[in-house]
Amino acid sequence: MILVSDDETYKYFDNVDNKLGERVDIPTVIVKKSTGDLLKDYITKNKRSKVTMSIKFSGAKDGENLVFEFFFRSDDVKALHFFKEFEQYYKLLKNKFTFKPIYKYYKGISSSSSNELDAERSEPCIKDSQFCGSTNSSKILKNFLIIYLFIELNIQKERYVLMENIRQSCIYELNTQDLDPYWNYMMAFSDTCVDLNNPLFDEKCAKNVMTALGIDDNKVTQCMEKLIKNTGKIEDDTKLFKDRKVYKLPEILLNGIKYKVI
């Protein structure tokens, strides 16, 4: 749908994504009055023939620093598969863009919490119940597929998802200068621990992947312990979900503009 502004001073090239695009069922653009009048005049003059229009949205400008924000959770099959699908482009572009993973946490869904690193504990939350894992139980009636995937991944405890979010965050934080270890871990974790034919989503599988890739388990463990005691990174991720108005997962933002992960 094309909306024509009645104000000629409206500058469509200054239009900013308000992050609510996924709530609009009909793709919509707004153009300034003179552009709209030109289109209407052309359609009027050619009303007996079929009129086809093409709208192109400009991407990042040459030389512009590209910030790639990826919003997801560690048990999101679709998101994890993205890392392998995007691998060829990552290798070409890794020195030309800033990649930042943002993990989804839930607040206050359980009264049970523990700041211990042990993934086998029954408590689904850390930091006095502020940040929790989830089995997507709130979405059982809304999206059967999500629950189906959760069951198929053989995730035994909510805490597994919480700890894996933190583990992946630490692998990223320890390798911000060269993201290859993080990217390789995400692909290997997807192939090994999120294989729907033989799902092994737990701490043991994650550690086996790290060992195979030569990722220092001691450094990752120390990072996880610090992150649990000082939840600044988790708080930042939670705030970004709110500030960027991200409601569906996985979600990609390139320089603040949303793109759907297909």
Separation of alpha carbons 3 and 141, rounded Å = 36
Separation of alpha carbons 123 and 116, rounded Å = 10
Residues 12 and 121 in one domain: no
| pLDDT digits 0-9 by tens, 21-64 | 555 567 778 888 888 899 889 888 887 788 888 877 666 666 67
Number of domain units in the chain: 2
The pLDDT score that the predictor gives to residue 59 is 62
Residues 126 and 237 in one domain: yes
Residues 78 and 198 in one domain: yes
Tell me, yes or no, whether 90 lies in a domain.
yes
Residues 86 and 132 in one domain: yes
Residues 102 and 15 in one domain: no
Tell me, yes or no, whether 27 lies in a domain.
yes
Asked whether the predicted pLDDT for residue 109 surpasses 60, the reply is no
The pLDDT score that the predictor gives to residue 259 is 79
Q: Which of 139, 165, 164 is nearest to 151 (CA)?
A: 139
Residues 131 and 37 in one domain: no
How many Cα atoms sit within 13 Å of 228 on the Cβ side?
25
Tell me, yes or no, whether 125 lies in a domain.
yes
Average pLDDT over residues 139-163: 63
Taking every pair of Cα atoms in the chain, the longest distance, rounded to a whole number of angstroms, is 72
The pLDDT score that the predictor gives to residue 64 is 73
Q: At what angle do helices 158-173 and 217-229 cross, to 10 degrees?
A: 110
Residues 103 and 169 in one domain: yes
Looking at residue 114, its amino acid is S
Q: What are the helix and strand counts (H, E) for the chain? A: 9, 8
Range of the domain at 217: 66-260
Residues 26 and 84 in one domain: no
Separation of alpha carbons 9 and 130, rounded Å = 47
Average pLDDT over residues 132-144: 51
Tell me, yes or no, whether 50 lies in a domain.
no
- Range of weakest confidence among 8-17, 120-129, 241-250: 8-17
Tell me, yes or no, whether 219 lies in a domain.
yes
Alpha-carbon separation of residue 233 from 27, 159, 213, 237 (angstroms): 34, 18, 25, 6
Tell me, yes or no, whether 59 lies in a domain.
no
The pLDDT score that the predictor gives to residue 223 is 97
Average pLDDT over residues 108-137: 78
How many Cα atoms sit within 13 Å of 103 on the Cβ side?
28
| pLDDT digits 0-9 by tens, 191-233 | 999 887 888 899 999 999 999 999 999 999 999 999 999 999 9
Residues 130 and 224 in one domain: yes
Residues 39 and 159 in one domain: no
Q: What is the DSSP letter of 246?
A: -
Summary mean pLDDT of the chain: 83
The pLDDT score that the predictor gives to residue 14 is 46
Cβ count near 119 (within 10 Å): 20
Between residues 1 and 59, which one has the greater pLDDT?
1
Residues 75 and 129 in one domain: yes
The pLDDT score that the predictor gives to residue 143 is 46
The pLDDT score that the predictor gives to residue 5 is 84
The pLDDT score that the predictor gives to residue 134 is 72
Tell me, yes or no, whether 25 lies in a domain.
yes
CATH, residue 244:
3.40.30.10
- Range of weakest confidence among 50-59, 112-121, 133-142, 165-174: 133-142
Residues 247 and 161 in one domain: yes
